[in-house]
A and B are shown apart, each in its own frame.
Chain A
């Protein structure tokens, strides 16, 4: 038996870009019959037409073409049995595509991969859960979807229920569950699949701190049992805690591979973390946004670099650039900050400030930038979404995009980072603490204490 769990050689995957894709992730559109009929009918009249079904993904174009994107290319690596490997890279670097290929959800365009042993993926927990079914029924259904045998589920049923902590509600339809319970149950099923190779993608982006701790615990158990784990995350501290070695992907290539601390350092400092920008093309903006026309939005770190991963101990700047084709009375442009779970952290507008409000009763036509700075030591580690809103209060909402940009916050050197634990909540302020020992206590406090 070889010691190799996964061997990937020259793996590549390309996508055809759909209409209306801005700076976002690759996506394929679907076609209507009319388009296909039209192209099929005209096919015989085209030169060099090999007569291939045009709707199928044909061979990739030989010359670079705007319509195609290599989500992954020339990726080669091996993972030994029992290794816990992290995969990091900015959005669109090909992490998810890689995991999808390894878990056989999608096929590569070129190259090959060799996977030794059963693969369990936590690409998304709870897939296939049906809200109308009870917890018990969903365990069986979800187990079957993940490839477990009925007997296997029978054997692990109690353990799954125990792990999820929803035993009282196991015969209640899951639509009555809180989102936390739902998630715990879903994760419990997936975690008991006991695959030889576990593929994990961002499950830690969801759930409360307690749940995240449980997930991390389960994952390190899996690793300690000598099974192989491939862990994709934006959460650098989770990567640092859990993995020994990390692969950095960039634009579909393996940019770096080394021991995790070095790899994280490489990723954070090489500028690879630079995306943090959203550019709207004409197609992305609904026509009713006029005369407001958003152009771009970006996140900058202390050095003024556009980034999608920031340190919580540094200030960051948010800006949105737009064009007004006509003056707008009472326009306010602002940001929403939400956690990856969709909870609002705050919302703020460029005319919140009384002075600004009075200075801009009417926003003049032309190109404009609204910019604000988030001071250091505000955000906790984790993933956040930045939304944008342009409106005139009680008159009209011109444009809104709730998740225009996502970014991650790394808590290195944040208050309390000497303890490698996850801190609850979206904020992590640096508070001024004082500790008074007994010898310093005032007599008044002593009296109070004695009285209780």
Chain B
């Protein structure tokens, strides 16, 4: 929605008056991130609500945040680690896959929640004005809490393998660990970019509801979660890195395990794609936004 907020100084007692012009808009709109910033508390409250409500009326509660990646790790370890003997960059396969599953879980959760978020908040969208971007952003941020819980399990696993008798693995703390937040940010950017596209499309085409599960499943195969990126032939590495999650997962392994070498060029490609996804997602979202209330 295009609007100009003019602050007019006035002679009377009221120091300023906001005048809002409402008129039809067309084409691409400015992102208006300033307005989103004014509504930052809304983003905070929506995120907080999602987190607070998520595991209400479940017996296991927040344990679900841990169980999901943990059980996936167990299955991966049995089938890929033990039976298929997938190489794991020299660390125990459970740690190897779990390090990949951490950002992967954040990504899929954020993508799924964000993709469905606008339709789920139909009542709000058709009744009240607020920057619509707040909804998918809050959905993505809500996943970060689950990520933090699941991360605690990784620490436990690393300690276990460190002290377990006849374990060849030892925790290595390298300066690379400091870059972990950046990789987390990259995961969020990637998820938000895709989430914005999907959420805006979902308003118009409910097919997206069916595409999301398929998409995440498919995406898992092209991401080095269950296997190392080094399995991909050299000449295909850069093509492989077009999937931004490749850079994220490799980055996580590099920062946490210190086994693989720094994912330099690969990371550059992944980051570029992730940022491209976010920027186009934002603009596409803003463009579709004006019809949300009429279409959703």
Option from B22, B39, B128 in Cβ contact (under 8 Å) with A123: B128
Please provide the chain A residues from 286 to 310 with a CB less than 8 Å away from any CB of chain B in the complex.
none
Which residues does B use to contact A, with CB under 8 Å?
1, 3, 8, 10-12, 14, 17-25, 39, 41-42, 44-46, 49, 52-53, 56-57, 123-130, 203-207, 288, 290-291, 293-296
**Cβ of A150 < 8 Å from any Cβ of B?**
yes
Say yes or no: B22 contacts A145, CB within 8 Å: no
Say yes or no: A104 contacts B124, CB within 8 Å: no
Say yes or no: A104 contacts B18, CB within 8 Å: no
Option from B124, B129, B205 in Cβ contact (under 8 Å) with A103: B129
Say yes or no: B25 contacts A107, CB within 8 Å: yes
Please provide the chain A residues from 117 to 165 with a CB less than 8 Å away from any CB of chain B in the complex.
117-119, 121, 123-124, 127-128, 130, 132-133, 137, 140-141, 144-147, 149-150
**Cβ of A108 < 8 Å from any Cβ of B?**
yes
Residue of B nearest to A59 (CB): B26
- Provide 11 A-B residue pairs closer than 8 Å at the C-beta atoms, listed in order of the A residue: A1-B14, A116-B20, A121-B129, A123-B127, A124-B127, A128-B128, A133-B53, A144-B44, A144-B45, A145-B130, A150-B41
Interface of A is mostly: loop
Q: Which residues of A contact B21 (CB under 8 A)?
A: 112-114
| Alpha-carbon separation in the docked complex, A102 to B129 (Å) | 10
How many chain A residues touch B (Cβ–Cβ < 8 Å)?
A: 49
Please provide the chain A residues from 359 to 390 with a CB less than 8 Å away from any CB of chain B in the complex.
none
Say yes or no: A115 contacts B207, CB within 8 Å: no
**Cβ of A209 < 8 Å from any Cβ of B?**
no
Q: Which residues of B contact A116 (CB under 8 A)?
A: 17-20
Q: Which residues of B contact A133 (CB under 8 A)?
A: 49, 52-53
With A105-B127, A132-B56 known, 20 other A-B pairs at CB within 8 A are: A1-B10, A28-B295, A30-B205, A30-B206, A31-B204, A34-B207, A56-B288, A56-B291, A105-B125, A105-B293, A106-B290, A114-B19, A115-B22, A133-B49, A133-B52, A140-B45, A144-B42, A144-B44, A147-B39, A149-B41
Q: Which residues of A contact B206 (CB under 8 A)?
A: 30, 32
Encoded as 1 (CB less than 8 Å from any B CB) or 0, chain A from 93 to 108 comes to 0000000111111111
Q: Which residues of B contact A117 (CB under 8 A)?
A: 17-18
Say yes or no: B293 contacts A106, CB within 8 Å: yes
Nearest CB of B to A195, in Å: 11
**Cβ of A431 < 8 Å from any Cβ of B?**
no
Encoded as 1 (CB less than 8 Å from any B CB) or 0, chain A from 380 to 410 comes to 0000000000000000000000000000000
**Cβ of A427 < 8 Å from any Cβ of B?**
no
| Alpha-carbon separation in the docked complex, A109 to B57 (Å) | 45
Say yes or no: A130 contacts B53, CB within 8 Å: yes
| Alpha-carbon separation in the docked complex, A28 to B126 (Å) | 13
Encoded as 1 (CB less than 8 Å from any B CB) or 0, chain A from 14 to 46 comes to 010000000000001011111010000000000
Q: Which residues of A contact B128 (CB under 8 A)?
A: 103, 105, 121, 123, 127-128, 145-146
**Cβ of A55 < 8 Å from any Cβ of B?**
yes
Q: Which residues of B contact A100 (CB under 8 A)?
A: 293
Say yes or no: A108 contacts B22, CB within 8 Å: yes
| Alpha-carbon separation in the docked complex, A251 to B257 (Å) | 68
| Alpha-carbon separation in the docked complex, A293 to B127 (Å) | 35
**Cβ of A345 < 8 Å from any Cβ of B?**
no
| Alpha-carbon separation in the docked complex, A57 to B127 (Å) | 20
| Alpha-carbon separation in the docked complex, A370 to B132 (Å) | 49
| Alpha-carbon separation in the docked complex, A110 to B24 (Å) | 6
